[in-house]
Structure 1
C-alpha cells in the first residue's frame, strides 16, 4: 500500500451511518464537518469534551457513553478512530477492514484505509489536499497548499500568500455569531498562523477543522449551567503558551468586548507583559437579528437600540441593569443570555410601562444551519419559550422592529 498514492474521492455521507470512536480533541475538530455533511453520526466514548457534549445535547450526534465494542462498525459507511486506547484502536481498525468500512485513524495514519485531507472552502467549493505518498507525509505542507489555494480563490489570484513571520503573543479574536464566513479576514489569517487556539463553544467551530494537525486546540467551552473552564484557568493557559514563544489565538464568539470577558484576559496578559492584539468581531446582538430579517433600528420605528445581558433576573441583587428605565424607552431592546430569565424580564418591563403587546422575537443558533426564529409578545413570551423549547444560545429582540421585515417563515 505504501508504494501507491492515495486515491482522492469525495464521500457523500448524508443520511449514512458514521461511527466516531473517542470524544476528545480529534473528534471535536472533525465532527462539525461530518455534521455539515448530513451524516448520521454515532459517537462511542465514555467521555467527551464540553463542545462534543454540546453537539450531543443539541441532537446533532448520538452519543453512546461506553468504550468501543466489537460490532460497532458493522453497519457503518465511514469510521473515525480517535480513542486514547491503542488496543481499542487496533481492534476497531481490524473490524473496519473485515466489514470494508473506510477508516481514519488519528494515532497511526499508515494503518488506516483512509486519510483526512486538509480542507478549505470558498464560494461553494471544497478544496481537499492529500500528499501522494504514505511515506514522508508532511501535514504542514499539505495544509499550507490548502491555505494557498483557498486564499487565491478568495482574492482571485490563486497565488500563495507571502510567508509571514509569526510573533509570539496572543491575539484576542472575535469569531462572529457562528457562521464561519462572518469572522473578519484578519481574524481568519491570525487563526491560520496560530500554534495554539483556545476556543469557546460559541466561536465558529467549523474553522477548527481547517487548522493544521500540529495546532493545539484547547477547549474553553462554557456550556450554560454545565461544566466550564474557569476564567482564571483560561488566563493562565494564555500566559503559559505565550511565554513558551508560541503564537496564541483566543477565539471567542461574537465580539470579545460584548459580554465576552475579553478585557479581563487583556488585563491578565498586560500584568505579565505579554503583547495582545485585539481583533473585533461581529456582535450577535446586531448580526443575529439581521440574519433573521430584523433590523435593530428602522426609520420611523426605532431611533435607538439597547443591548442588555439577561444572565441574571431583574430582581437579582447582582443585576446592574436599570430595568424600569429600559421599560420607558421606545426603541429596540436586544437581550443576550436571557432565555431562561425572559419570563421575569417581560414581567418587569410590563410592570414599568411597556405594553404587553410589544412584539418579541427569539432567534436561536443565529447565522448557523440550525437557525430558527420564534415570535411572541411580552405577554406570551414566557409560555412560548416553554412550548417551543427555545434553548440558548438565542438572541431576544423586543420592540416594533420585530414586525418591520418580511413575515417570518411558518
Structure 2
C-alpha cells in the first residue's frame, strides 16, 4: 500500500449529453487514472478519460445484471490504495438516488478521501428539454424528488402525494407506473393532474409523454419505453408546449 492513498471523486455525469457535464466533472474525467462508470453514462462522456485510464463498466441499471454495490466499493478502495486518481461516474446527480452516501461512508471509513461533483439530474433535464418548469408561481411552490420503487422493486411508500402545490419528480418507477398513479390518486391527487413522463431525459433520443395522472400507466405501456423514465406530476407540467397539442401524444426530443 502506498504511503499516500489516492482519492475518489464521486462525479455526476448528468443525464447523458456530454455538453451537460459541469466543467468540474469534465476535468475530473479528463484527469482520471481509473474510471468506474454506470451503464447509463454515454460513450461520448467515457471517451473524455485519458487513453491510459483504466475504464470499468459497473452496470447499475434497473432490471439488468450489474456489479454488486459491495464489489464496486471494494474495487474503488483497492484502486485508491494503489495511489490512483479514481473517478466513480454516475448518471445524473450522484446525490439524487445515486448511492453517494453509501460509497462515501465506505471509503471514508477506510481512510480514503472523497469529493462529490454534482451533475444535472434527470428531472431538470426533462423540464429544460421539453419546455416546462418544475416550479411555477402560484401553482407549484414546492418540488419533491422521490423514488417510486424500493431496493427490492416494490412500490415505495409515499405520504407526500396529497400536496397539490408540490411538483413530484418520480425516479425509477417505469415498470410500476400504473400502481404508482393509483396510489397517488388514492392519497388525494386528482386523476386529471398534468403529468410529463420523459424517457432518456437530456439525450438526443429523449421522448416525452404528456398526459393526465389517471391514464399514466396505459400511456407509458403504449409508448413501449425501454430507457430510464422520470415522471413529473403537477400543474407546472401543463406549461409544456406538448399540452397545447392533442393528448396523449408522444413527443420526440427537440433537435
Q: In 1, distance between residues paired with 2:204 and 2:123? A: 18
Work out the CA distance in 2 between the residues paired with 1:394 and 1:379.
Answer: 17
**How many angstroms apart in 1 are the aligned matches of 2:158 and 2:191?**
19
> Which residue in 2 is equivalent to 1:296?
134
Residue of structure 2 aligned with 1:354, choices 172, 189, 193: 189
Partner of 2:48: 210
Residue 204 of structure 1 and its aligned partner are, at CA, apart by 4.1
2:94 paired with 1:256:
yes
Contact in 1 for aligned 2:12/2:120 (Cα 8 Å):
yes
CA distance in 2, matches of 1:181, 1:382: 32
Counterpart residue number, 1:187: 25
User: CA shift at 1:339, angstroms?
Assistant: 1.0
Secondary structure, counterpart of 2:87 in structure 1: strand
5+ residue gaps, structure 2: 244-250
User: Aligned residue pairs: how many?
Assistant: 240
- What secondary structure, in the 3-state scheme, does the structure 1 residue paired with 2:47 have? helix
The structure showing larger relative contact order (alpha-carbon pairs under 8 Å, at least 6 residues apart) is 2
Cα displacement string for residues 248-306 of structure 1 (whole angstroms, at most 9, x for unaligned residues): 10011111111000111111111110111111112222222222212100122211111
Checking the alignment, whether the CA contact within 8 Å between 2:40 and 2:61 is kept in structure 1 is no
Contact 1:200 1:222 in 2 (8 A): yes
Q: Does 1:333 align with 2:168?
A: yes
* In the alignment, structure 1 residue 246 sits paired with structure 2 residue 84: yes
Q: 2-side partners of 1:405 and 1:378: how far apart?
A: 15
1:145-164 to 2 correspondences below 5 Å: none
- The residue number in structure 2 matching 1:61 is none
SS in structure 1 at match of 2:124: helix
Find the counterpart in structure 1 of residue 158 from structure 2: 322
Residues 384-403 of structure 1 deviation map (CA, whole Å, 9 limit, x = unaligned): 11111123311101111111
**Could you list the per-position Cα deviations for residues 208-249 of structure 1 after superposition, in whole angstroms to 9, with x for gaps in the alignment?**
123332111011112321101000000011000010111110
Contact 2:21–2:119 (8 Å) recurs in 1: yes
Higher Cα Rg, which structure: 1
Q: Deviations over 1:10-61 (max 9, x none)?
A: xxxxxxxxxxxxxxxxxxxxxxxxxxxxxxxxxxxxxxxxxxxxxxxxxxxx
SS of structure 2 residue aligned to 1:407: helix
Q: 3-state DSSP class of the match of 2:10?
A: strand
Distance in 1, matches of 2:117 and 2:132, equals 26
Shift of 1:198: 0.2
8 Å contact 2:8–2:113 — kept in the other structure? yes
Aligned equivalents of 2:190, 2:175: Cα separation in 1: 21
Counterpart residue number, 1:222 = 60
The 1:332–1:253 alpha-carbon spacing in structure 2 relative to 1, beyond 3 Å, is same
What is the CA–CA distance in structure 2 between the aligned matches of 1:201 and 1:294, rounded to whole Å? Answer: 28
Kindly indicate whether residue 243 of structure 2 is the aligned counterpart of residue 405 of structure 1.
no
- TM-score normalised per structure 1: 0.56
Q: State yes or no: 1:343 paired with 2:181.
A: no
Residue 151 (structure 1) aligns with:
none
- Alignment match of 2:223 (pick from 356, 365, 388): 388
Q: Provide the aligned C-alpha RMSD in A.
A: 2.0
The 1:239–1:312 alpha-carbon spacing in structure 2 relative to 1, beyond 3 Å, is closer
Q: Is the contact between residue 12 and residue 90 of structure 2 (CA under 8 Å) also seen in structure 1?
A: yes
Task: Name the structure 2 match of 1:231.
Answer: 69
Q: Distance in 1 between matches of 2:165 and 2:141?
A: 8
Partner of 1:368: 203
Moved over 6 A (4+): none
Shift of 1:172: 0.8
**Local SS of the residue matching 1:211:** coil
Counterpart position of 2:106: 268
